[in-house]
A and B are shown apart, each in its own frame.
Chain A
Amino acid sequence: MTYSSIAEQLQLLPYYLGSHLLLTLLALIAGILICVPCGVLVTRIKSLQWPTLTMAGILQTIPGIALLAIMVPLLGRIGFLPALIALIVYSVLPILRNTVTGILGVEKSVIEAARGIGMTDMQSLFKVELPLSLPVIVAGIRTAAVWVVGTATLATPVGATSLGNYVFSGLQTQNISAIFVGCVAAAALAIIIDQTIRLTEKTVSRRNFKLAALTTVLILVLFAAGLSPLASRSNFGEANETVVIGAKPFTEQYVLAKLVANNLSENGFRPDIRSGLGSIILFEAVANNEVDCYVDYTGTIWTNVMKRTDLPPRDRILMEMTTWLKKEYGIRCLGALGFENTYALAVRKETAHRYDLQTIDNLSRLSAEFSMGSDYEFFTRPEWKELKDEYNLNFKELITLDPTLMYSAIAQKQVEVISAYSTDGRIVDFDLVVLNDTKQALPPYDAVLLLSDRASENSSLIRILEELIGEIGDDAMRNANKIVDVDGQSVDSAAIYLKSLVDSSRD
């Protein structure tokens, strides 16, 4: 972690922070507008109290990331809206609970006095009960604020930009500076929002005008910061067309997304990268025109989306897939980039030597003694079932890991086998041996560039993207990945490296 690498990350801060802030503020405001009236209602209609609070309690037990994930199929889309709704749900319990306890905690004698001197129920509520329960309600809002700021970092995998982009991409690309900046920014934001709410309460309850000025300024600054990404987008919007580029959560995808983004912005487009999306979420987002383009792999589409189990030659797969995607989803496949990134079972070199392992077939007799580690997806994919059945693999234990940690796990002998990516620079760096798929249980995984229906009508966009087709070979991609994963340089420098290769081959 150096000053320059942090400075590089800080350039992204206004956009990430602004998006994070907007998401958080809107969720909190909606949470307050929904939960405070509901809480008041519940204190008036006692029979609603138990069901409402129990329901809120149950919602709270759902882990934040699960709540975010479930909003995608529920709403049938990715991005800002599902994240916002999940965060609103997350803010319900503390605000609702504290509103109810706050109002019920107001001294009975004071409420009797309010009724006795002739206040209506509304007057009693606004002049007596709410002012007296304000500290408790505000405490609930502050709890909700801290939770929402924290949980919003998990909105990245559902396609909403947040400070989580730092953390997720930092984890994948081993960029400690990114993780560090993300953590510090999220913590600082939580503190600032918490203190702003505290000041607001003080201002309201003490009617202090100096405080009021300070609070107003703080709130305005927060909102301005939250709206800044939107404003900058709409300013450029007229001249530049926004193109949303999707990326799955691993290094290669980040590098390719960055490469595409750089090429687009050079040509007057405004690229917007949504990174860290899962394979299926990303595919559906392209099908729904929410993401304009991304890189996928023929084998992934063939087995997971088309549900095919037969394995024709790779050219036929590419051809059939292209026709099928156009017909079923309107998605246009621009063509293969030139490299293949297949799942490859890899073992440590010493393991390979000791047991004389060269093919996956050799593993079958040993698998009962071995543990295998893989990424978030592989064990749930049809390819794994195919591979397992074909080679009669029966591992002692299957461990799902973050791709980055998967390599550490095999290096530290916590697992014996991993599902490496064939373009991964770390296979060489960690001294791993790839076992041959002699029975061809796995399909080919040629990298292809996919375009949404909407984007495929844009001829100038297609012209720019077509420059990449067939230009990135296996070695080029492996080197680019190595720049990030092994050499510890930024995604941007890997993208620049790839671009220089593409440009020089054209010249």
Chain B
Amino acid sequence: MDSVKGNLAGKPHVFSDEIRYKKASESSLDELYALYETSSDGLASEEAVEEKRERYGRNVVVKSKKKNALLRLLLSFVNPFTLVLLILAAVSFITDYVLAAEGEKSAVASIIIVVLVLVSGVFRFIQEEKSGKTLEKLSNLVETTTAVTRAGISEEIPLDEVVVGDVVSFAVGDLISADVRILSAKDFFVSQSALSGEAEPVEKSADLRGNPQGLSDRSNLAFLGSTVVSGSAKALVIAVGNSTTYGQIASKSNLSKNEKTAFDKGVDSVSWLLVRFMLVMVPAVLLINGFTKHDWLQAFLFAISIAVGLTPEMLPMIVTSCLAKGAITMGKKKVIVKNINSIQNFGAMDILCTDKTGTLTQDRVALEDHLNINGVTDYRVLRHAFLNSYYQTGLKNLMDQSIISKTKELSNTYPALANLDKTYTKVDEIPFDFSRKRMSVVVKDASGKTQMITKGAVEEILAISSFAEVGDNVVPMSEDILDKVRSMVASYSRRGFRIIAVAQKNNPSAVNSFGIQDEKDMVLIGYLIFFDPPKESTAKALAHLQEYGVHTKVLTGDSAEVAEYVFQLVGLPLEGVLLGKDVEGMDEKSLQIGVEKCNLFAKLSPEDKARVVQALRHNGHVVGYMGDGINDAPALKAADIGISVDTAVDIAKESAHVILLEKDLEVLVDGIIEGRKTYANMIKYIKMTASSNFGNIFSELAAAALLPFLPMLPLQLLLLNLIYDFSCIAIPFDNVDKEYLQKPRKWDASSLGRFMLWMGPTSSIFDWLTYLVMYFVICPLFAGGHWGDPGTDSALFIALFQTGWFVESMASQSLVIHMIRSNKIPLFQSRASWQLCLASLLAIGVAIALPFTPGVSGALGLAPLPWVYFIYLILAILLYMLLATLAKNLYKRRYGEVL
């Protein structure tokens, strides 16, 4: 176990973790403050903070030690491609230099191979570094903060700035920012599932309760990685970063490793499919070439080169580049992707479940009125609401903020609303939770009179109210009053207002300690009426989503009436409504049927929301969930893609895969389009590589069986592969047809196999045609005779043949991308991006130029091609493009689309 330094009585000590935590747990508060050189007001100065940071480190969990740059550079050379090239370099050095006769010694080929190794490794390193750095920059844009008290002043600071000795405050929805000892707590329940795997929240308190077995059982210690489920607390930070319990587990295990998504598995399956082909191909080619050509060394090297050619060694890099490019473009559109693999899910999403508040509405909840039971504006109701909102220490939501600001605004006109914070002192509070849907505070006035004030959902307040205040009289609750209340609530709800009720009771308990059981026999005093107008952009954004094949469903904790009103305003047709109580009463099967028929789910608990999302996923939908509240966290986790906003509570941000910097559905549409573009470019590369590799298998098998020499030297084959891989770095920048973006795109591995079978042989046919023309026409014409004739220059014959296939292969591989990148007719109806066009032209240009480059040409075994070859090449490529387009259209006819 790691250890951290402690400082007891001014002298630095090194404690083991067990002792350190025990000490923190068992010390009195004074001992604790002395131990950590702090006080209830927190660290006294900026110097003290710096000193602590220096001594105990920063609050950053480094999940695995980052390898240094040199090691990362070396690792980018570790792949089969490099290994085979180095073997080739060694063989070439031995045959061309060590064993060669004096005067014929040449190390040029070996030097070229080493240069290729260096170029490919450095290129891979640069690409991966670039992707990594960009993603790191993007993730830094999303910041989680925590409330800390320093020198008596409370402020929100980024999580990584917390130091040992800080006094921190937690409310519902917060992440525990470090390992802490609780100083004071009120109904403080935390979920330690990230640490212990236990789903049930555990209560934490200032005092050490029971007889704890393990550290996590200690009731007055809370740990980094836990989340606050209910209540509030103040605590002292005792460990940060990698010294925390979570940090130690994370740095030693693969806790940080993400589970493989369907997409990861899809990419793996492509790799394995090609590897399986290779395992059959390589021995076959080796044996055929070995027995027919009797040069086992060359046959072996050729077989290995084919293996390397078929190994999709660039696939991970291209996929990462595509995803990183997607993440960058999405970042520019204010969509921050926390895990780049979720980009694909973003594009595949066909149902968006969203919370109502702030997504469909403006998130500017305004307190419109404060009414008594008779529906008359009453400042007493507002005064009670203020005391409740002001003194509760949990998360102050938009309603609380609105109540506080409205009271302050009216206090100039109505003196009864002024100085309430001075007239009353807080005695206690019972924090909010989603099962009760209400919260209470107990306050005391100057005369010593205590009063419990509760506010919350109307039904929940009615459930605990035995009395109602009608005029100046408190009367027992009756059916008449209940009917009157419910009809007033319904009438406001239908007009889109949100209503919460306020109740109170005097001298609630003889002892000054309160709990949920005290929320009874209350007096209903009135209601608060809020209005949250829909956003102007919502209707347009919803129409856009629909246009892009994403169906929107609204999941809200609000009443159905309020949500229905918002539906009307934003022009969303109401298909059906399911209420929380309906959802709770349904088994999984009936819920799976129910969720398909409805697009409004109201009065849902957090668990109901998650169940609705799970039911939709079970039905085969790719479900996105957008929300920013504590009550959204389970649904965010349950969804294929959890979407939250930068201003959301920690737990929602932590549960989400994607963070929007602007809470706007239109931003989401941009993100979806970008997700689909990224997916399109990735699948383009995968399909193209897989099909041309598959085609090469046929070509090479035929060559091995029929040709008296190798159709290409191992080095040429590897060089071809390298140039082609280079040209593929432009793929992430390619254009995607507008039509392709209209539909959600789900990863489908089955389409890859049939695409390979359909498109692969088209390139083989032209490879065979090239063999034929080179062997029977071009090589005899320029090498002085047929193969085997006494006057024929055999070396030139072979070099011309190999160069002819080298150039034709490069041209067909580079151009096939332009055929399959779109459902439309290439060049005329759909054009590739300039980057991709340039990359293709460069690749072909380099392949054509190499045989004409003095020095290099000979070392690579290439020969300058005659002009007549280029006439053939142009004709062959045109025919190939026609055939590929025909095959593509037939494929499209059978399967609907190409990609």
B and A form one assembly: no
Q: Which residues of A contact B (CB under 8 A)?
A: none
